[in-house]
Amino acid sequence: MSDSDISAVVDKLAQTKVNVQHELSFAGKGLKLNTGDDAKEIAEGIEKCPHMTALRLEGNTMGAEAAKVIGKALEKHPEFERALWSDMFTGRLKTEIPPALKSLGAAIITAQAHLVELNLSDNAFGPTGVEGIVQLLTSTSCYSLRELRLNNNGLGIGGGKMLAKSLLECHESSSAAGKPLSLRVFISGRNRLENEGATALAQAFKAIGTLEELAMPQNGINFPGITALSEAVAANPGLRVLNLNDNTFTEKGAAAMAKALPKLEKLEVLNFGDCLVRTEGAKSLAKALEEKHLKLKELILSGNEIRRSGALAVAESMENKDDLVKLDLDANMLGDEGVEIVQGTMEAMGRVDALGSFSDDEGEDDDEEGGQSDHNSESEEGEDDTEGNEVNDPHLQVKGESITPSKQTGNAKDFLQFPSPSKLLQLGAGRADAILAELGNQAHDVDTAVSTLIRISLVVSPGNKKATDAACDCADKLLSEVMKSDPEKQGVQVSNAILVYLGLIKGEDKKYKAPSDITGPLLVLTHVVQQPYFTKSARDILLAFICKPHPNLEKASHGRHQLLQMLYSF
C-alpha cells in the first residue's frame, strides 16, 4: 500500500465517529446525600468524566440540596442519555422528592441532552413524585425517550393521569417538531393505577403507537381499564412483550384483549397470569393466538380458574409456535385427567418441553361438564389441599390427612397439631371458641395468637370457600381477643408478627422457616384487614411490606393481589 493510500485511510478513520457508551456508576454505595457537601464526590466524578452517557445512582438516598449540586455538574454533559435512578430516595419525605427530581430534570434540559432511558423504579414517591418529572417529560430532552421505567412507585390514579397527560403533551409537541416521541418500553407495575389511571395511560399509548414492551402488573385494573388497554395494544403492532399479570380481566376483559391480539404479529411474551380470565376467556385468547403469532416464546396463564376445556384450547393453539419455550397453565382447575390430556396434547405436537409444572393445580371442578357458568367454585368439604405445605416449625406444622389417617378429628387440639380443611370444618360453628379454649391464657400472647392464625390459614386454598370462611371466623376471634386491651399498640405488634411468620421480615427465632406457600394466610388477611379491630397503623405496616418485591409473595401472587386490592381501598 502506498503512502498516499495509508494517508487516505487515516483521514477516513479520523472522520469516523464511534458511538461508545460511557457509564458512571455510584450504585449500591448506600450514600446519604443530604447537603451539597455530601454530593461533592458524585459531582466531581461527573465533572471529571469527559463523555458520560449514563449515570447510575440507585441504592443511595438523595435530598434536594444534594440534587442541586449533582444537577449543576450534569449540566455540562449534552451527550447524556440514560438516567438510571431507581431506589434513590429511601427514607425521604415525599415533599423532599419533587424538588430533587426537578433539579436533576432541569440540568438535563439545560445541557440540551437527549434522553433515551429514564428509570425511576422502586422510589415509592407517589403522585407528588410525578410532579417532579413533568417538566422533563414534556421538554425537548424527552423527544428521544425510548424507555420509561416507573415500577413500584405508588403513583395511584392521580399520578397515572398526570403521567399520561405529560406523555401526550410530549408526543404532540415532538410530532409538531418533526421528531415524534417513539417510546419503546413502558414499565409501571405495582402502582395502584386502577381503571382510571390505566385508561388515561391507554390514551397516551394509543397516540404514541411505537411500544415494544408494555408491563403493568399488579395495578388493580378491572374490565373497563383492561378494555381501554386492549384498544391501546391494538394500536401498537410492534409489541413483543405484554405483561398485565395480576390484574382482573374476567371473561369480558379476556375477550376484549383477544380482539387486539391479531394485530400483534411480533409478540414474543404474553403474561396474563392471575388475571381471572377463566375458561371462556382462555378459549377466546386461544382462538386469537392459534393462527398467527409465530414468534411467541412465552405464554403465562397460571392462576386463572381455567378448567380442562379452556386449557386444552390453549395447548392446541400452540401447535405452530416453533419458538415456544414456556407455557404456564399451573394453579388452574384441570384435575389429574385434565393435566394428562394437556400434557399428551403438547407431547403430540412436540412441545411438551415447553410445558410448565402443574404442581399447584387446584383440581377439576365437577361442574364443568354440567354446563354451569364459569364462576368461582368451592372444593369438596372434605378435600385436603395442604399436602406439600409442611414446614419445619412446630408452631406451623401442616400435614395432609393421608399422612395421619388414624388421628381423631373433631377436637381443637388435634386440629392444631395436624391441621387440614376437613378437620377445621368438623370443629363446627364453635370452632373459634374451641381453639381459644385450647390456647388458654396464651391466647392473649401476640406471638401465640399470630402463629396460630397462620397455622389455621395454611389450610385455606383459593377454591375452598367453606374452609376460608371458617379460617376467617377463627382469625376474628383470635385477633379481636389479643388486640382489645390496647388496639394501637397491639395492632403494630400483630402486624410485625404476621410479617415474621410470612417470612417477609426476620424474627428473633433464627431457625424459623416460613411456609413454602403463603397464599392461604394472604387470603385470610384480606378478610382481617377489613375488620374494625384491625387498626389503620396495622394496615399501613402490612401495606408497606406486601407491596415490596419478595420471593414468598411472588409465589403467592393470587393471594397477594387480593390483599393489596383491599389494603389500597382504605
Are 327 and 447 contained in the same domain?
A: no
Average pLDDT across the chain, whole number: 86
Q: Is residue 542 part of a domain?
A: yes
Are 364 and 270 contained in the same domain?
A: yes
Whether pTM exceeds 0.85: no
**String of b and e for 39-64 (b: at least 16 CB within 10 Å)?**
beebbebbeebeebbbbbbbbbbbbb
Residue 459 C-alpha cell reads as 389450610
- Model pLDDT, residue 11: 53
Are 322 and 400 contained in the same domain?
A: no
Residue range of the domain that includes 309 = 249-377
Q: Is residue 356 part of a domain?
A: yes
Q: Is residue 71 part of a domain?
A: no
Q: Is residue 507 part of a domain?
A: yes
- Which pLDDT band, with edges at 50, 70 and 90, does 395 fall under? very low
pLDDT in tens, 28-71: 999 999 999 999 999 999 999 999 999 999 999 999 999 999 99
Q: Is residue 307 part of a domain?
A: yes
Q: Is residue 531 part of a domain?
A: yes
Q: Is residue 107 part of a domain?
A: no
Higher pLDDT, 274 or 364: 274
pLDDT in tens, 503-534: 988 877 666 778 888 999 999 999 999 999 99
Determine which helix (DSSP H) or strand (DSSP E) holds 9, and give its type and residue range: helix 3-15
- Model pLDDT, residue 377: 34
- Model pLDDT, residue 513: 79
Three-state DSSP class for residue 113: coil
Q: If you average pLDDT over residues 456-469, what whole number do you get?
A: 86
Round to whole Å and give the CA distance between 470 and 475: 9
Q: If you average pLDDT over residues 121-148, what whole number do you get?
A: 95
- Which pLDDT band, with edges at 50, 70 and 90, does 233 fall under? very high
Higher pLDDT, 104 or 90: 104
pLDDT in tens, 171-216: 999 999 999 999 999 999 989 999 999 999 999 999 999 999 999 9
Extended strands (E) in 382-471: none
CB-based contacts of 300, cutoff 8 Å, min separation 6: 245, 270, 271, 272, 273, 326, 328
Q: If you average pLDDT over residues 536-551, what whole number do you get?
A: 88
Are 402 and 370 contained in the same domain?
A: no
pLDDT in tens, 162-182: 999 999 999 999 999 999 999
Higher pLDDT, 17 or 428: 428
- Which pLDDT band, with edges at 50, 70 and 90, does 150 fall under? very high
In this structure, are residues 32 and 38 in contact, taking their beta carbons and an 8 Å threshold? Answer: yes
Tally of domains in the chain: 2
- Which pLDDT band, with edges at 50, 70 and 90, does 418 fall under? confident
